[in-house]
A and B are shown apart, each in its own frame.
Chain A
Amino acid sequence: MTFNDRIFGVLMIVLAVAYGWGATQFPEPFGGAESVGPDTFPLLLAVVLVLSSLYMIVRPDPDHAWPWSRTGIELIVAVVVLILYALLLQPLGFVISTTLAVGTLCWRMGARPLNAYLTGAVSGVVVYFLFSFALDLALPLGVLSFLEVN
C-alpha cells in the first residue's frame, strides 16, 4: 500500500468537509451578520479544496517511492530525536540536549559516533556562548545551571 495522490486527495476532502462544517458552527459575530462573516472565506476555501482534491483523485500523478523499511525507521528516529530535543531543551539545558540531539542526528546520518557527539558538544557550546555573550540572549542552562557565573 502506498500513500499516493488519490489517498491524499481523499484525506484533503475529509479535511475540507470538516473544515467547512467547522465554519458553519462559528457563533454569529457581535453586531449581527455581515455580507462577509467569519465563515465566508473558510467556506470558499473548503469548496476550492474539495474541487481540486477531486481532480487529484481523478487524475493522479504516478506514485512515488516511499521509504518504508530501514530508511523509514531512520526518519522516524530523526523525528523522535527532534521531539525529544524540544522536550528536554529546558530541563536538561541547551548544551547537553544539543550534544545529544545533534550527536544522534549526525551519527544516524552516517558519522562515526565519537565524531558525531563531539560535533554536537562543540556546536552546542559555541552557539551557547555566542548567544549568551555576543548576542545577549538567554538559552536555558538546565542541569548545568550550577556553572552560571553571575
Chain B
Amino acid sequence: MISLSRINVTFNTGSRTVVAARDIDLRVDEGDVFGIVGYSGAGKSTLVRVMNLLQRPSSGDVVVNGQKLLELKPKELRSARKKIGMIFQHFNLMKSRTVYDNVLYPLKSSRMPKADKDRKVRELLELVGLSDKLASYPSQLSGGQKQRVAIARALANEPRILLCDEATSALDPKTTLSILDLLRDLNRKLGLTIVIITHEMQVVKEICNKVAVMEEGAIVEQGDIVSIFSEPKQPLTRDFIHTATHFGQTVEKIMSHPSLARMGDDDVLCKISYVGSRTSEAIVSDIATRFGVSANILFGNVEVLQQTPVGSLIVVLSGGRSELENALAYLRSLDVTVDRLDSPEKATLGGERIV
C-alpha cells in the first residue's frame, strides 16, 4: 500500500543542514493501522508528509497505491493525493465555510452530479456522527467535533489511505479515545489503511497493529505491536512502552523507596512478562505451591493488543536460594520472560536496571 525505500530528507537552514529523515525503509500493508512514534523533532511529521509528497524527499522512492509518486506530473500527483486522505493536529478546517461546505470542498472539482455530492457529504457527516452540525461553522465546534469534520473531509474522495499527523494530540484523553474508536471503525468497515503519527504510545497501544519508533530522523525499531510491546529491543522503545504502561514510574518508585519492596537478603526482585494465554494461568500461585517460593506482587499490568493479552508483573520472590533458582527456571520453561531487577539498595536512584 505504502512503501518508502531509502528515504532521506534534509533541510538547509542557512549554514546548518538538518537531517529530518535518514535512510528510512517502511512498508505499510493494506488494512494496517500503522503507528509511528517518536518524541518531537524525531522527524515523524516529515516522514508522513513524504507519503503524499507534501514533503519531497532528497532521495529515495515513494510508492503509494502502486504509483511511484516521485515520477508523477503535477496534475497526476494531485489526483493521486485525492486517494490519500490526511488529517492534522490542528484540524485545518476552513473557518469561512460551514461544516457542510468544508466536507464538500474536496468534491467541488469532481464531475459528480450535484445531487450525488450532496448525498455524499451527508453520508460522510453521518458516518462521523455530525449530521446535526451541517450548518455550523468550525468556530462553533469542540476539538473532537472539528477532528470528525476533518475526517469526513479527508474521506470525501474515498481514499484507501488515511494519514493522521498527531491527530489526537490537541484533544483531551476522552475525546482522543472517541476519535481512535472512530478510526478503528473506519479501518474495519471501510478497510481503510491508516498511518498514525503520534508521540503517545497510548494511542498506538489503542489501535495500531504495527509500529515504528523514530529517533533523530531514523527508525530505530519496527514490527508488529505485540512483539514490540512484549519484547522491545531499543531503550527508546522501552521508554515509550514504560510510559504508556506506567511501568517506568513504578520501577522508579520501588527503586527510590526500598521499603515498598521490603526485601530480605536472598529475595529476588524481578519482572515477569508474558504474552497470550499465559495471562490466564495462575503462574504466581503455581510457583508457591510447587517450589514453596512466595511472590509478593508489587505491580501488575495487562494490555490487550490486537486481541492478544500482554502482561507484566513486578514481584519480589522469596524463598531458599535453590528453590528460587528452580522457580525461575520453571517460569522460563513456560515461555514467560523473567528479568531480574537490581535490588533497590544497589540501584542508583531513578535508574532502571533490567538484567
A and B found bound together: no
